[in-house]
Structure 1
């Protein structure tokens, strides 16, 4: 089997309005405001008629992203086998830049092709879903006759920056929908960030855990004050995500020493070798990793091994993922040992999807991955409906 073509198309998908149950749009961060999100869908074709799908965010522009995928990465791997994923990802090398982000969607599509060809789901091909793993939730198996089947995947509800009263409403909605964890953006005003977490904690009577993500939006002293003020109120976050700027690992280490709030680098993990540096600097309580900057599922597995060996719990990041990348995350979370905290997700916040059978979020969980490959089929009509010219 040989790869014959790589094609990319960009869609723009609207978010469900905040006024609706579990709606999250507009989604406000300290970087901007989103009412819809552009996603690039990547298809890899083979000479045997089997195709696979991947998905990523737009980089610079839809045209630029599509061009790098079709005119750059595609020709590097045409004529080669999608089964040789590790070799492919090692040969996709461009001096002075990191193309892992673009290869990740192609790599995911190759996993999809391999699974379809072998008639096995990707999580089984990864080989780790039944492996014992300290503290890991995804390896609880339900026995169905003589077969082991994976559990649904619990996910964290994600929320943008909102006024106090609206934050309270959304926290209550998340709790009533069965979520155990709520992640909210922060960073515009650290004092207001403290008030919002306190208000939501009060609204649900402490029944939700919280993640607070300012996207590098605080200085070290502000992060210390946020963590200490929440602690004074008896609020202990599940973690504080990337509170200060990247490449400040010693400062993250000092922050850990000054607070009892767990510190979870995210943007710092986008460069793979940073993970070992963070471990050695004592700069992380939790790792928040992502298959796209990792270069795909294979790169994610490599990062997970480093974190698990270091005894650091980790979870998966969300990038407003449609059905293709959501499926890839479900397979990775289930098939790679060591994931011990629910991945972030905004899947419930889309008005529509581009897969034929969209996932149902039930009791705060996404369904267990099933079916050959990624287990999804792309709805070509939906792609055309939301496609950006």
Structure 2
């Protein structure tokens, strides 16, 4: 007989909302706590790869999700001179979509399923017995608590589950800028591209995020003070990417800098993903650098996988064990390979070119990078692929 009960979830991000929907669809009552007064996602754009489209299809919201984004025809990898080193069809994501658009549709789907979402509710900790602690000294009891409260998870810390937290040498700042008529005309003529440029120990990635926006992330070393500066130090970035001067001027002029901050990348590994009645999900459990575009993907895959495991198992402890055994290996594979991909930023210019082209000439390597994207998530079927 399938388990049923009440779940309390900390965090209304990708993982928390997908887990909430998955549990509610399987007969659970669910309440989600979000510390912000309004629902919004960290960051701006997200690459939607095949594993994610399968999740959205399984939830019945794929068409609505894709209606708010852009289909990407190819990924062009450039050097600092603007020369194309590699061009791949649908590399690192078939679609690019606003995170806010996705969160709004997930929240709407959760509401339709009977999930209660409480905004302005700050979680301060949890106990393995199923007690969730709030900042107003109130507590909530649950059969299951899901900590989807982000990279600085207070629940994870209150339970002492951290095994290893690796602060990467690099980080990035994200922004969106208006998409210009000439951008639209170029994309209509040449195809819509995601551009990824590498030079010195810096990286620029940009592509359309919606019909009206372009998403950008600037990556550099933590010790690169000019590279980290916000607002952007345009001469510093132009010294590395001289052919991108017009883009850098637009970034400098059109970015809402009050909404932007440079963030150092982290990799997080836990001793285990659950203890007692508490499961840890998303960046709280397995944060990773963004190079392969699968942080949100794994949060959603693992959120749906958790709901499926609970539905399959006779009791909670065995469900949580099954969930971790099934989902953790793929998650840690992506953590490892996103760091390998990102190591390109540290290479001398000539080796950068070789490393980038290796993806095209070594099929095994390309497969490692794309394993999560081509993975069939638990709770989905092949017919749900778009």
Q: Could you tell me the TM-score, scaled by structure 2's length?
A: 0.25
Greater strand proportion: 2
